[in-house]
Chain A
Amino acid sequence: MTEADRAGGRIERTIEVQGIATHLFEAGPPTAPPLLYLHGTHLGNLWLDYHRLLAQRFHLFAPDIPGFGLSERPDWMHDMSDYVLYFRDLMAALSLERVALVGHSLGGWMAAEIAVWYPERVSRLVLSNAAGLRVKGVPMADIFALSPQRLLETCFENLMAAAPLIPREINTDYFVRLYAERTTLAALAWNPHYDPRLARRLQRLNCPTLIIWGARDRLIPAAYGEEWQRLIPGAQLVMLEGTGHMPMFEVCEQWVAHVSAFLQESQPQEVKPS
């Protein structure tokens, strides 16, 4: 632990995991159930309303995934399996025996993989607009072909909600950082941009799972949400109207309410693997 900043009940620190200096935010009552939040591409190093609201009910850990935000990605790390092992060690470093996992977009893909490989470590799983699957005939948008501006326009239904993502100054450093983050995404998801083996493996999941999606998602269309629900035994699906790929930005309270209600259901139903 190199740095601790107790501002507004939030701790900001950097921990070493597999030699990677991992920047993270931690907040919420230490006695509350732990929640590990895995962000999507370009969404590291943020502390926004959805974090604050989740931290009111949960002991929230929001790390910057290596290659995003303030966590560097070492060259050897370029495969989903590298990330799964990394998160296993991150949980150990944070003394998280068993945790609720909430993942968005790329972070959703990672959360699903963690739940496949370490089911005993995941109490509940929430996947929001998650990448990782293939739905034949419903292609995802090619994120790598989109300019930064077009990417925002594709992700957001209401561009005003994108305000926290607009840099104060657009300069060389900004473009280099963006390029570096895209490089991390490309390392993981250029080809294939899904895991063809994941669909079959999802049958192994045995924790209660919520799929939550923006109905208008133009990056990863709603059909993907339906596919996750079909493949994960007993998964619930909440389709939010009027929003797209970024529901936690656009309909924050609604999104948090669904996620919180699901995570706080008193009797977690154990789902038998089929």
Chain B
Amino acid sequence: MSRPRLTFHYFHLMPWPDLPPDFDEKYDSAWVTLPNSIYDPEKGHALYNRYFDELERADKLGWDSVCVNEHHQNAYGTMPSPNIMAAVLTQRIKRARIGIIGNALPLHDDPLRVAEEIAMLDVISGGRIISGFVRGTGMEYFSYNINPTLSRERMNEAHDLIIQAWTRPGPFSFEGEHYNYRYVNIWPRPLQKPHPPIWMPGTASLETIDFAAAHRYPYMTVFMPMEQRKRAYELYRRLAEEKYGYEAQPEQLAFCVPIAIAETDDLAMKEGERYMMWLFQKAMKVPTEFFMPPGYMSLRSIRAAIENRASFGFANTTFKELVEQGVVIAGSPATVIEKLSYYTEVLHAGMLVTGGCTDGMPDYLVLKHQEMMAREVMPYFRQQELPPEPRPAEIHSEPH
């Protein structure tokens, strides 16, 4: 079977855009400490359902998947339990895959619950689940009070447990440093074989790229300048080739990039500036201490992050600069195709993760964006297909 040059994944953060007018002066963070009195459940009810409608439209318009994720105690994304969102989507989304990108494994003391829930969702959805695994942002280690120095170990161990729970006949025992079960024997088992596809979104940690490359999991770069994305893909490709002995394929390299699309470049720039800056200037407002709790990153990664001036927020960056740096894409369909072609042709990255309204963008504009992407951008990439690629062998960790 031939493969599309680029697949399209509609990703929603489900943010809380309704911040008080004095947010900039009064609050130093949209995470952890932003008072939850700002959240209005009545409005939240309408907002959740509006967001679900938006994802449903993406399905009807032909996106390959709709995606949700996990964040806690913040205005950036109001989905503390992504599996609940995915459960709703199994009933609303009739065709596309449903991506949970992802469950923040180290935050949970019982990863077996994640294995069970993903298996349930996979069975309910008829095998349409994509299961992302993440560590969660640094902020979440404050919100859940999980020791960030154990983040990596818990991530790796929880991953091993979940993969085994999905693939090894139960019951069996699992004896780890952090997780220990006498009986692993999940009911139901996932429908997809050997298990739902796994994605790994990442921001800056070198270890995550290595882990993804080792397991041949797609690695997704999130909100970062093109230079940083290039470095991440180069590292993935190099590790794949030199350390793990295979050639990385386009469907292993995903990029999460917000896109403002309109009839002309000028209009796209105007709309993007009006509706996207909320995400970068307010929703991502976080003190460094919350973003990089001690031990969350290895010393090697923290040094690289400081030297590359990596940051979560883009508080002092203009929209024009975000476009120039490749953090976001803005333009007419022709411009968007040209920019996406850079990813497919030059970087050989084959999965676009984008979409999702932020900052209370009016729904007719969201619809326009969805339709232009579906009708004027997707067909271009779907006409050009890649030759079939043999399925890479699954490598699993040793049983514990």
Contacts and interface: CB of A to CB of B under 8 A. Distances in A.
A183 B148 CA distance: 8
B146 A191 contact: yes
A187 B303 CA distance: 20
B289 A179 contact: no
B290 interface: yes
Nearest to A182: B294
Interface string B120-153: 0000000000000000000001100111110000
B61 interface: no
B293 interface: yes
Contact of A187 (B32, B142, B149, B306): B149
B152 to A, nearest CB: 11
Contact of A186 (B147, B303, B306): B147
9 contacts: A144-B289, A172-B306, A175-B302, A176-B303, A176-B306, A179-B302, A186-B149, A187-B147, A187-B149
Given A144-B142, A172-B307, A180-B299, A186 B293 contact: yes
A182 B145 CA distance: 16
A40 to B, nearest CB: 16
B287 A145 contact: yes
Interface of B: 32, 141-142, 145-149, 287-290, 292-295, 297, 299, 302-303, 306-307
A2 interface: no
A267 interface: no
Nearest to A176: B303
A178 to B, nearest CB: 9
Interface residues of A, number: 17
A191 B299 contact: no
A187 B287 contact: no
A22 to B, nearest CB: 20
A179 B145 contact: no
Contacts of B149: 78, 183, 186-187, 190
B124 to A, nearest CB: 35
Given A145-B287, A147-B289, A179-B294, A190 B147 contact: yes
A185 B147 CA distance: 11
A147 B149 CA distance: 18
Contacts of B142: 144-145
The 9 A-B pairs at the shortest CB distance, nearest first, are namely: A182-B294, A183-B295, A186-B294, A183-B294, A190-B147, A187-B149, A191-B145, A186-B149, A186-B295
A172 B287 CA distance: 18
B57 to A, nearest CB: 40
Nearest to B32: A145
A179 B307 contact: no
A146 B288 CA distance: 9
A145 B295 contact: no
Interface string A144-187: 11110000000000000000000000001001100110110111
Contacts of A146: 289
Contacts of A191: 145-147
A175 B303 CA distance: 8
Contact of B299 (A78, A176, A185, A187): A176
